[in-house]
Each structure stands twice: as C-alpha cells, then as structure tokens.
Chains A and B, each alone.
Chain A
Amino acid sequence: MTRKVVRRPELTFWEKLYIPQILSGLKITSIHFFRNLFLHISHRLGMFRNRRAAVTYQYPEELRPLMSRYRSRHRLTLRDDGSPRCVGCMLCETVCPAKCITIVPDEHPDPNVEKFPVRFDIDLGICVYCGYCVEVCPEDAIRMDTGILDLASYTREGMRLDIHQLMDPELRQPVSDCNLDFPHQCTVTGEEMKGSWDLVNKNAEEETAGHE
C-alpha cells in the first residue's frame, strides 16, 4: 500500500495578512449588492425589466417557467366537436405502473369510431407521473402538458380526477352537473351520474357491503 502525501498549499504572507483577502471578499459581495440594488430601483422605475435582480420566484404570484417536456397534470385532448379523442383502447390503463387509471368504455354510436370512454378516472394520489400513458396512447388522446403543479387536497377523494376535470383542466371537484354533450352519458342510468366518482364510490361501497 502506497502512502500518498497530500501537500496543502501554504498561505503566502499576503494571504496571512487577512486584509487583502477580506477586501477581495467584500468586493464580490459589494458588486452583488450594488448591482442588485441598482436593478431593483430600476425595476421600480420601469427600466431594465428584462434583467432579473434576484433569482427568487415570488411563487404564488409568479410561476417558474416549465420545460416543454415537463410532466404536469393530465388532460384528455378533444376532437373538433368537443368529444374526447380517447377510443377506449385501454392501453394506458394497461401500461400504468401505478394502476391509477380506470376506464369504462362503451360502444360509440358513430360506426367509424369503435369505442368511447364512459368513465375515465385518474387517481393522482397514486400516480407516479411516469408519462407512460402519454407515450403509449395511439390517438394522442392523453397529454401531461397542463402545467398545473399545485395539486393539493384535504382528502384522498380530492385527488381523483374524473373525465370532466380531465377534459377541462380549469374544472375543480366537485363537478355538480354534467356539462358534456355527446357521447358522454352522465345521466344514462337512472338518477346516477355515470362517469363521475360518486358512482365509483357507491359501487365500491356496494361491493364491500356485498363481500361482508
């Protein structure tokens, strides 16, 4: 085993004096101080707006620019007539490693389109934002480009998105009444809102009740 001698550089006399070193440090901080002070004042006067004085983003008011490939909250893309592009092929549900996507497809009235989603739910509470669903979709029907990052909720239910919210990222739960026309069928089965989480919860309750 060889021994390696690490020679630490000796301080020169000039460095041991402290003062020149302190002054060089003060120079750096002072340059930053006066540059930023000048820029802040200029910004108040409406000048040099394009040069930032601080690296801080004032978060709730000012959002950080996102990369174009950033994976944010999902959305379902729409056709020209406002119906979802999704054809209910179940590929995203199949590929999803977190199993957070639930799709209930139905037969489409249009013979040229095979299926459409009656229900399309994503549970963001367990989603890992891997983006596989976007990659695998043959119809470019699901994307993760809404730029919405501030996903927070007081309940787990609040993290579940249904087709209403996925088609319109501006919407927030609870979705009181169905505003989707063809081919989504929220109210087909009696009084129940098909395609919303109410139904899922109810079914789950019934299921557990049945098991018991």
Chain B
Amino acid sequence: MIGLLTIKLLLAAFVLFMVMNFAGLHTWIERKQSALIQDRIGANRASIFGFRLMGLFHPLADAIKMFFKEDLIPKGADKTLHTLAPIFSMFFALVAFAAIPFGPPLEIGEQTIDLQVARIDVGLLYIFAMLSLGVYGVILAGFASRNNFAILGGLRATAQMISYEIALGIAVIGMIMVYGTMDLGTMVEKQGALIGGWLPGWGIFVQPVAFVIFVTAALAETKRAPFDLPEGESEIIGYFVEYSGMKFGMFLFTDFVETIMVACVATTLFFGGWQVPYLGPDGFHFPWGSEILVSNLVYVLLGISSFCFKVIVFCWVFMQIRWTLPRFRYDQLMTLGWKGLFPIAMANVIVTAIVLYMIGGTV
C-alpha cells in the first residue's frame, strides 16, 4: 500500500509537470497560431544539430536567453518586494491547480485514488481566492518598481480584476445553485447525468449565459488581449516595465499558466471536467441502447484524456480570441464589466433561482 502523502505528492508532481510543460509550449502555440492566422510561418529557426522540429526549440532558446540576461533592480526600488512579486504571481497561479479534478477515481487494488491533488469542499472558493491573490504579485510589481508606468499598470490590473471578479463570482453562483455544491469533484460527477436521456448534463447546457459571462470575465482575469490593459505595451509598458531576465519571463509565464488555469476551470464547471459523453464507471451506455464495457483503467485514461482535450480546445479558443480582437479602451472595459456582465450575471442568478424554485430543488 502506498501512503496517502506519497500519492498526493505524486499527483502534485504530475499536475505541476503537465502544467509547466504546457505553459512552456504555450509560447510555441502563441507564435505558431498567430502565424497561421496571419498567413505567416512563425519562428522556426532555433535548431539542435540541424533539427528544427517546427520551431519547438524556441521555448528552450527563450528560457536560456532569459536566464542569461542581466537581472536589473532599479535604483530606489524595494528590492525585497521587487524580487517577491514575480514569485507571488507564479505561486498563486500554480497553487490553484490543486483543486482541479482531472480524472475519475482510480482504483488500485483496494484503494480508490481521487485524481485531484486536494479534494477541498469549497474547491471553487479556493480557486477564486487563488486567482484573486494572483493579482497581488502584479500590484506588488507595480509598487515596488518605483516607476510611474509600472504603478499605472498595477492600478489598472487591480481595477480590472476587481471589476471582473464580481461578474465571475456571480456567474458561478448560478452553477453552485444548480449543482448544490462547491466541491469541484462532486460538481463534475453530477455533470455526468444525462438531460432528457441523451444530452450530457454539462454546465454549458444548464447555464449557457453563465458560461458566456464566465469566459469573458475569465479572459479578463488572464490579463491577455483583448483585456491586456495592465500591460498595454503601446501606451504604458505595464507592471513589468522594470523587470528583466527570468523575472520578466516569470510574469509572461504566469499569464500562460493563468490561461491554462482558466481553461481548466471552464472545463470543470461548464464542459463536464473529465466526463466523456455516455461513459459511466463501467463503460459506454449510449441512448440508443448499445453498450461498450471498459475496465477501470481505461475509464480513468479516457477521463484524463477527455479533460486534457477539453483544456487544449479551450486554450486554442482563448488564443484565437487573443489574436482576433484588439484591446479594449479603458472606459469600454469598465462599461462592459459593470454595465454589461454584472447585471446579466445578476439576472442569471435570479432567473436560475426562480426556475429552480419552480422545478423544485437542484438538477
């Protein structure tokens, strides 16, 4: 028997390994996807022994370059906070992954292992708390740099986060009402039920309005175009203007990690997490009556790959949006957040409450 701690450590290592690698690959995805969208080829010159592998070595080259750059801390800046800011930023983005269930329970002998680093009863709250704390690093970077542009970027980030977190939270309240729980594992399990015998009970079919609001607000949380006002590279360079080398790289990296984070949350809440349509713990049960039975291991593997597939699709969509839409003006951003998303999210909660009262209880 393996100890619980060992299992949890292994799971954490697995999640970190996957997330960090995928985030590193995101630089490649970003370059190549934008290139495809804009009829270009994209970075493809970095090579090892003449092998280019479609530019897959560029993230590696980037990392090497970042590590060898001079690390500057401006005169008059707060050294401690200046150093801590990227660490905070990165830390909170990574820690949030602990609550994401990425696969169905795995049975090894007598033991049942939840494929989730930490099964927290208020997992959803935990994730939102960590996402909110993520902006802490950004604000610190702005304040500690002793640069007016950096402070502007930090303030913009703060205002943006606060405005959109409200919409984000209220959008999710509808989900909590429907599923009657804040535990992400239970939420995913409940999404396995079928609506009317054929439609998977995924969050997007139950709460489509909440999904749109959630994705919009979540995009704003990641601080990437069209919501990259904290960075605003053409006006103010943003909160990381005084950063260089790998510290700067960590801020960039955090953006990618947050994108993956948001994709994971969207998958978990609205696209059934690791659920495969019509797949139960013992096999497929199709609405037309046929059945394919699978073992527990196959079930788990199918679940994990389903989760990964959905996350990758979400990342693709986010990247596509990032390369389609230009940046919002600041007043437009605030208008959208306060006059657009916030009332709609509130209306969604009220309508959900009324409907739930009429049909009596949770789904």
Contact = CB atoms under 8 A, between A and B. Distances in A.
B41 A33 contact: no
B321 A37 contact: no
Residue with the greatest number of chain A CB neighbours at <10 A, chosen from B33, B36, B320: B36
B39 A36 contact: yes
A208 interface: no
B40 A55 contact: yes
A50 interface: no
B212 A22 contact: no
A55 B36 CA distance: 10
B39 A22 contact: no
B37 A32 contact: yes
A22 B37 contact: no
Given A33-B36, A33-B37, A37-B36, A22 B320 contact: no
Contacts of B320: 26, 29-30, 33
B195 interface: no
A22 B38 contact: no
Contacts of A63: none
Contacts of B35: 54
Contact of A22 (B41, B321, B323, B340): B321
A5 interface: no
Contacts of B37: 29, 32-33, 36
A22 B33 contact: no
Interface residues of B, number: 16
Interface string A37-57: 100100000000000011110
Contact of B41 (A26, A28, A29, A58): A58
B226 to A, nearest CB: 9
Given A30-B320, A54-B41, A22 B325 contact: yes
Contacts of B33: 33
Residue with the greatest number of chain A CB neighbours at <10 A, chosen from B35, B39, B320: B39
A36 B36 contact: yes
B324 interface: yes
A141 B323 CA distance: 53
A177 B146 CA distance: 66
A83 B137 CA distance: 75
A56 B40 contact: yes
A36 B340 CA distance: 36
Q: Give 4 nearest A-B pairs by CB, closest first.
A: A36-B36, A56-B41, A29-B324, A25-B324
